[in-house]
Amino acid sequence: MNAPRPRAAILVVGQGLAGTCLAWELERAGIPFEILAGGHAAAASLAAAGIINPITGRRLVKSWRFDALLPAARRFYRELEDALGVTLWHEMRVRRAFADERERRVLAEKRGRGELAPFAGADTAEGDGFWIEGAARVDLPALLAAARARWRARGALLETAVVDLAAEAGRYDLVIDCAGLATVRGGAFGFVPWEFSKGEMLEIAVAGLAPDVIFNCRHWVLPVGPGAAWVGATHEPGRADSAPTAAGRATIESSLGTLLAGRAYTVTGQRAGVRVNLPDKHPVAGRHPLVARLGLVNGLGAKGALHAPALARQWVNHLTEGVSFDAEVDVARFSTCNSSQASSR
């Protein structure tokens, strides 16, 4: 028997953060779509803390295009809050402790050159660390659950897992692959030089944390509600399994004495997932260079909450006005690196 005719011209594959943001922008633009959500067996989005942090890493780098991406993300999630009736966006500050004297020097140099403004200005260094303003937490579990319920009620949610996207591309005008790690594991986008990194985090019960302060020193502690926080995350480049491990827990707990300043805590849960990156650390979106009916959003790395709204907007601008994808995120930037793989489809 033939598969039933699709109700929409566009199929979004995967209802993690990338697929959810994309489907929302399609809905907002009045573009009919269906979204394939085969469960969240290995969704990175459900292991993620949803932190948006302007300044990250041991080199204290301001995130790529942060000045433009932050207000766009804030607007996007606030609008979704209204549509979905759930709170998603929490404004936060980060108390960033120096891991060593080198970090203190790096801050002084970068602050002196104005590189970290306006998020870590001249007057923000004090004692053993400094304050980062303009951070946020996006409640990803709430976002995914509420969006899923909305599209289920509207008949746009397909609750099955499809493995042959090329076959689906024959049924729809456009299939946009937002399948995260599953995309990396094979298929039409095998020519993209995917990288990945496993991450784990702990859920803890702890009293006395300020609700709007993330504490960060190598790992972070993120308050998520009264008496509850998440702590993470580990980074294991090249590992692609999503199972929580005793070693991951031990790594995170080794930082907890410093991070919690001696507060008592109990571990109440543990999550793990796999981040997908590209070597240039930019996300990727756009049409397959040879199969125009196949598209992509992926490579959100450790900054999905910041990037996913902007990538979704690029897709809608492309579909409604024919705007080209930003060259620094366009999947076309990889089509010459392995053209035989790109053309094997």
Residues near ligand FAD, by CB under 6 A? 13-19, 36-45, 47-51, 161-163, 178-182, 199-201, 232-233, 273, 275, 298, 300-306
Task: Report the residue number, 30 or 186, with the smaller CB distance to ligand FAD.
Answer: 186
Residue nearest to ligand FAD (CB): 16
Task: Report the residue number, 125 or 142, with the smaller CB distance to ligand FAD.
Answer: 142
Q: How far is the CB of 210 from ligand FAD (least distance, A)?
A: 18
- The letter for the amino acid at 128 is D
Q: How far apart are CA 279 and CA 274, in angstroms?
A: 16
Q: How far is the CB of 271 from ligand FAD (least distance, A)?
A: 6
Question: CA Rg, the chain, in Å?
Answer: 20
Q: How far is the CB of 317 from ligand FAD (least distance, A)?
A: 20
Q: How far apart are CA 87 and CA 90, in angstroms?
A: 8
Q: How many helices (H) and strands (E) does the chain have?
A: 9, 18
Task: Report the residue number, 21 or 260, with the smaller CB distance to ligand FAD.
Answer: 21
Task: Report the residue number, 289 or 301, with the smaller CB distance to ligand FAD.
Answer: 301
Q: How far is the CB of 220 from ligand FAD (least distance, A)?
A: 8
Angle ∠(277,41,18) on CA atoms, nearest 5: 45
Q: How far is the CB of 59 from ligand FAD (least distance, A)?
A: 18
Q: Which residues of 236-249 are buried (b: 16+ CB within 10 A; e: fewer)?
A: beeebebebbeebb
Is the bond preceding residue 42 a cis peptide, omega within 30 degrees?
A: no
Task: Report the residue number, 108 or 149, with the smaller CB distance to ligand FAD.
Answer: 149
Residue 252's contacts (CB-CB under 8 Å, 6 or more residues apart) are 200, 201, 202, 219, 231, 232, 233, 234
